[in-house]
Each structure stands twice: as C-alpha cells, then as structure tokens.
Amino acid sequence: MRDLFHDELDEIGAGVAEMIRLVAVAMEQATGALLDGDLNRAERVIEADGRVDHLRTDLEDRAFQMIARQQPVATDLRVLVTTLHLVADLERMGDLALHVAKIARLRFPELAVPEEARDVIKQMGDVAHSLVLKVGDVVDGRDISLANAIEAEDDSMDALRRKLFTLVLSPRWAHGTEAAIDMTLLGRYYERYADHAVAVARRTIFIVTGERPVPAPNGVSPLT
C-alpha cells in the first residue's frame, strides 16, 4: 500500500512530466512560428511560458515543504532535491523557446530565417524535439538506457550550430548583419535548450545509479 508521502512524490513527478511536455510543445511551436513567420503562433508560445514559470514555482515549493515536513532520507530526499534542479532547468528551456518565438515576432511579417539557413534551423528544432521526448522517457520511466542516445543528440545539436556559423560566415551570406545576429542567437538558444535537456537526463540518471554525472557541458566554444 502506498503512503501519503509517496502519493505526494508521484504528484510532483507528474508535475515535472507536465513541464517537460510544455517545454517540448513550446520549442516545437516556436520553431514552427519562426520558419513560417506565424505571428499568432509566436504570441501563443510567449503567453504560454507563464504556465511553465508557475509550475516551476509550485513544484519547487512543494518539494521544499516535503523536505521540511517529512524529513525524508536516502533516495526520497535525493529525488526531491533533484526535483529542485530539474524544474530550474525546465523553466530555462521554456525561456529559451520563448526567446526563439520572440525573434519570429520581432521580424514579422518578414521571415527571420533566410532560405539557406532554413534547413539547419529546422534540423535544430527536430533535434531539440527528439531530445526532449527522450528526456521525458528517462524521467517518466527512469529508463537510463536512453542516456547514450541523448548524448549523441546533444552532439548533433553542437554540429548543427557549427554548420549554422559556417553558413553565416560564408562569403555567399547575403543577408547582412541583422540576420547574422539572429542566427547567432538562435544557434545559442537551441544549443542551450539541448544542454538543459541533457542536464535533466543526467540528474535523473544520477538518482537511479547514484553515480554523479560528468559535469554539464559548457556549450561549444564559439565558432569552433
């Protein structure tokens, strides 16, 4: 029979799963808004971020109160402390999706992404989405067998960011400095989104294995 404590822990877990779902949708929609120049979709992503922020605050408070009142030990305490970290990463992923949406909004009715960069940005959006779905599977089912696949997708994201820089720095780039700045920021936002997703997966795996993950990536060096 489950006790009240573990029911509460399950509720917090469901909240984390909901945050993962929301930030997955946010980045997917932000990428769509960006590539289609869809102002309404961009606005919806921007408005929806408040829900992610609210969930973070709520889950952080609940985890803190459970630690304070129930004084859990061992794995239960580790799950709660890890929750504090996960919700911080997930809130940040929501912010990064929001930043992508804001670039779409800023350039409307123009398209922010020039034709020759569309494919790379689309791939960055695809990798972000595939990554966050895998992270959801890790967190839901504590399925640590996805760890390697997640690291590989993080590497793909870094490679795509380098490809984006190569395009922008090519002598054939004919879209000026403003578009170059947009591509630089977009590359950074997708890369950081992936970094935070990986951090969530690593933290969750730490709970299962008890082995501290290697440090989170600093992000690729600029332009290298």
> Which residues lie near a second copy (CB under 8 A)?
49, 53, 57, 64, 67-68, 71, 73-74, 77-78, 81, 84-85, 88, 95, 98-99, 102-103, 106, 165, 168-169, 173, 177-178, 180-182, 184-185, 188, 212, 215, 218-219, 221-224
CB 198, min distance to a second copy, A? 14
Please tell me whether the peptide bond between 215 and the residue prior to it is cis, using omega within 30 degrees of 0: no
Q: Which is nearer to a second copy, 28 or 49 (CB)?
A: 49
CB atoms within 10 A of CB 69: 10
Q: Which is nearer to a second copy, 44 or 78 (CB)?
A: 78
Q: What is the DSSP string of 156-184?
A: HHHHHHHHHHHHHHSTT--SHHHHHHHHH
CB 208, min distance to a second copy, A? 17
Q: Which is nearer to a second copy, 146 or 168 (CB)?
A: 168
CB 126, min distance to a second copy, A? 22
CB 48, min distance to a second copy, A? 13
Task: Give the three-class secondary structure for 30.
Answer: helix
Contacts of residue 172, defined as CB under 8 A and 6 or more positions apart, other chains included, come to 116
Instruction: Report how far apart, in Å, the C-alpha atoms of 162 and of each of 131, 156, 210, 220 are.
Output: 18, 10, 34, 9
CB 221, min distance to a second copy, A? 5
Per the CB < 8 A criterion, the answer to whether 30 and 42 are in contact is: yes
As a whole number of angstroms, the distance between CA 123 and CA 60 comes to 33
Q: Which is nearer to a second copy, 30 or 146 (CB)?
A: 30
**Of 144, 212, 223, nearest in space to 184 by CA:** 223
Q: Which is nearer to a second copy, 134 or 192 (CB)?
A: 192
As a whole number of angstroms, the distance between CA 167 and CA 194 comes to 21
CB 153, min distance to a second copy, A? 21
Q: Which is nearer to a second copy, 41 or 99 (CB)?
A: 99
Q: Which is nearer to a second copy, 71 or 145 (CB)?
A: 71
As a whole number of angstroms, the distance between CA 30 and CA 45 comes to 6
CB 184, min distance to a second copy, A? 4
